[in-house]
Amino acid sequence: MCVGQPSKSKASSRVASIGRADTKRRTGRDNILAMIESLRHLVGWIVSSFRSREDLVLENMALRRQLLVLHAQRPRTRLTALHNPRPAVRNAERDTLVAMRIFFVLLCCHFAAGASVAREPESEKVSHPGVFLITIDTLRADHVHCYGYERIRTPALDLLAEQGIRFTQAFTPSPITNSSHTSIMTGLLPSSHGVSDFGVPLAGKYPTLAELLANEGYDTAAFIGAVILDSKNFAPGLDRGFEFYDNFPEFTTTKSRWGRLERRGMEVEQHAESWLNAHPAGAHFVWVHFYDPHDPYEPPPPYSEVYKDRLYDGEIAYADSALGHFLAYLKKQGWYEGAMIVVVGDHGEGLGEHHENTHGIFLYDSTTHVPLIVKLPEERDAGRTVDAQVRTTDIMPTILGLLGVAAPASLDGDSLESFLTGTEAVPRTVFGETEYPLRFGWAPLRSIRKEGFKFIEAPKPELYDLRADPGESRNHYVPWDGTVQKLRKAFAELSVKSLAPRKTSPAAVSANTIDELHALGYLGSADARSATDVPEPSLLPDPKDKIEEQNLLHTAMMASEDGETERARAALENVLQLDESSALALTQLGRLEIASGNYAKAVGYLRRARVARPNDATDALEYGRALELSGDLSGARDALLATLKLNPDQFEARLALGRVYLGLNDSNAAEDQLESAVLLQPGNSEAQIKLAEVLIHQKKFAEAVELLETVSEPSSRNPEIFELLAEAYTSLGRRQDAQRAQSRAKALQDSKRPQ
């Protein structure tokens, strides 16, 4: 199907008055219910008048959908092109729809005329229901009060469960934030939409929920709680269809993680409120992402006190309070009752189960079982619980189905409409996937959860009988087991559809955002590098054998972010106790010692990393940098030449080698390297300044001046440029220019000095 951006005219036609029907519904809820009832009778009458009932059986579900279509339909929109996701509406049904719609609009006019808030012309009374999607990061289903956890208070989630439909057995296909959210937004498995890693762009060919709703005239906005979902770097393409996507600021001077990496739930909520206040009219599709339960667990007071022994729960309780504020705001605006509200966890948290502290590596229920609650407009089917197994990939088709909007043709998920009304209870097959272990050089995992069994495909496969062993603690796998064979067959069938073996997509995360990934506790693809070159994933180590190392590496990353160098060092040294040739630990120790100024120690660790991963270009680069910093210039030269042999396009390596050659007084070789660096990054002033320095060494003053004058824009704040310029001008006999450059350099130096 064709999905485009909402046209300007469509957007501009979204006049201020549309959507006030929400406000009216608050006061006229009972009227609306009575109206629906009357409408139901009328439809029956029309149907029997035109044709026999056998001919046109309008099932409860179909009526529901048509009502919603009518509800969603603005008068100016085409009637016959009802965005019905199923085969075209039959003529007779269309007749009925026409009649229903006329009656519905008449009724709206009737009630609106009597309602005190109604002031607009009648043609603008009907609107789409508001759709609010709330994702709560790292939320285990079994840590929510309405899911039976007595040690926490989650009144907002409990209220939604009371007024909506609660799915007790909902599962995410991915334990990683970006992949999981992309699955929610596209109705596709990670292996289908391809976002298996941070920074992998979502391809334009997969329509997103926001895009489809924007096409329907919705005003769309997204409010994210962590930089990991920022569409500028870690989640490119996830903003597609959102008119406003609340990314993090591009530049920030703060060292604190708040505002730079994370936003607290209340801040996210406030951002959403501000946007809604500025866009009160029209139908809203708003996605709100609360990141709080993600580690590190640092809830604000009073949650830090009340839950001081269970800070993860404290974060959940706090996120719930932010959700509560948001629901209260929707109520205040009169938008709550008429809205569809979906709350879901993106994945769970290991909390030490199966020795996994956080999430991302394994596919056990601890990280894949999430809460899912759907509150329908007018609180229909309030209080229902659905125990059948469902998936978060079902969310997108469900929302579209309820709105009568056609879903894309081939989705991995399917609408849950019949579950919402209790007319269906057939459990859905749940697939799970994680490629995150590849970041560590370990095998990726896949799982299937079906008919009370979970099968995990791994170098050491696992089979659990979930009815007898819900904690997945007794592995029954034997290759000849009938269940194993059946579930493997289901995998194979899915593979034909979407899981075709493919190369891991390279993440587009740039080097400077790797630090942000580390600060959030994740390894970037650049950390794994050559470890993923192994052609057959099953030859990689099983993550089960490596999970303790992962926990320690995670601890080290979080400790480094908090400036706790000693704790980070201790954790990394513990990794080396488990595996003395762990390249990940050796590289990180090397970096840590470089940052601490212990260059000789860094050289030692990075030399060992080089032995462990001889084909790794980045290890060789870091080794070269450590040698340069330790003063071993000829050693640095050899290491940097080695890394460039592995990958000639490394700007950092060219620049460093230029510096090293300059230090070794080989200015011709330095010039070659720096020219290559400038070619690789033409706008990089550091490389240009270094090259100018080399040119001055070579007494090529005119060339140096030419280069420096292009770098020294009026706004340049780097005194080094003007010092070099002064030197070159002096040598060319341009005394006045030299003096001007010299005083500019001095002024810049003075302004940099602490007052």
Residues that bind Zn ion in the complex, under the rule CB under 5 A: 137, 177, 346
Q: Report in angstroms how near the CB of residue 169 gets to Zn ion at its nearest.
A: 20
Q: Report in angstroms how near the CB of residue 292 gets to Zn ion at its nearest.
A: 11
Of 269 and 346, nearer to Zn ion (C-beta) is 346
Strands 340-345, 131-136: pairing is parallel
CA–CA distance, 576 with 569 (Å, rounded to integer): 11
Q: Report in angstroms how near the CB of residue 177 gets to Zn ion at its nearest.
A: 3
> Angle at the Cα of 656 (from 593 to 671), degrees rounded to 5?
165
CA–CA distance, 289 with 347 (Å, rounded to integer): 13
Q: Report in angstroms how near the CB of residue 504 gets to Zn ion at its nearest.
A: 20
Do 111 and 201 touch, CB atoms closer than 8 A? no
Of 137 and 239, nearer to Zn ion (C-beta) is 137
Classify residue 81 as exposed, middle or buried by CB count within 10 Å of its CB (0-12, 13-18, 19+): exposed
Q: Report in angstroms how near the CB of residue 372 gets to Zn ion at its nearest.
A: 15
Q: Report in angstroms how near the CB of residue 357 gets to Zn ion at its nearest.
A: 15
Q: Report in angstroms how near the CB of residue 347 gets to Zn ion at its nearest.
A: 5
Of 447 and 618, nearer to Zn ion (C-beta) is 447
- DSSP single-letter state for residue 238: T
Token duo for residue 177:
């934030």
Strands 445-450, 430-434: pairing is antiparallel
Of 346 and 632, nearer to Zn ion (C-beta) is 346
Do 406 and 1 touch, CB atoms closer than 8 A? yes
Strands 369-375, 165-171: pairing is antiparallel
Of 170 and 603, nearer to Zn ion (C-beta) is 170
Token duo for residue 704:
């140096």
Of 344 and 583, nearer to Zn ion (C-beta) is 344
Of 137 and 628, nearer to Zn ion (C-beta) is 137
Of 137 and 472, nearer to Zn ion (C-beta) is 137
Q: Report in angstroms how near the CB of residue 388 gets to Zn ion at its nearest.
A: 25
Q: Report in angstroms how near the CB of residue 139 gets to Zn ion at its nearest.
A: 9
Q: Report in angstroms how near the CB of residue 539 gets to Zn ion at its nearest.
A: 29
Of 551 and 685, nearer to Zn ion (C-beta) is 551
CA–CA distance, 656 with 636 (Å, rounded to integer): 9
Token duo for residue 101:
């719609």
Q: Report in angstroms how near the CB of residue 520 gets to Zn ion at its nearest.
A: 10
Of 262 and 720, nearer to Zn ion (C-beta) is 262
Q: Between 667-680 and 651-663, two packed helices, what is the crossing angle to 10 degrees?
A: 160
- Size (the chain), residues: 755
Q: Which letter, b or e, does each residue of 615-651 get, where b requires 16 or more Cβ atoms within 10 Å of its Cβ? A: ebbbbbbbbbbbbbbbebbebbbebbebbbebeeebb
Of 137 and 462, nearer to Zn ion (C-beta) is 137
CA–CA distance, 225 with 288 (Å, rounded to integer): 8
Q: Report the residue closest to Zn ion, judged by CB.
A: 177
- Select from 30, 88, 100 the least CA-distant residue to 64: 100
Q: Between 547-561 and 583-595, two packed helices, what is the crossing angle to 10 degrees?
A: 10
In what helix (H) or strand (E) does residue 434 lie, and over which residues does it extend? strand 430-434
CA–CA distance, 75 with 72 (Å, rounded to integer): 10
Helix extents (H) in 446-561: 482-497, 511-519, 525-528, 547-561
Helix, strand, or coil here: 47?
A: helix
In what helix (H) or strand (E) does residue 373 lie, and over which residues does it extend? strand 369-375
Amino acid at 727: E
Neighbours of 595 (CB within 10 A): 12
Q: Which letter, b or e, does each residue of 737-747 get, where b requires 16 or more Cβ atoms within 10 Å of its Cβ? A: bbeebbebbee
Q: Report in angstroms how near the CB of residue 498 gets to Zn ion at its nearest.
A: 22
Of 177 and 182, nearer to Zn ion (C-beta) is 177
Of 155 and 296, nearer to Zn ion (C-beta) is 296
Q: Report in angstroms how near the CB of residue 294 gets to Zn ion at its nearest.
A: 6
Q: Between 651-663 and 633-646, two packed helices, what is the crossing angle to 10 degrees?
A: 150
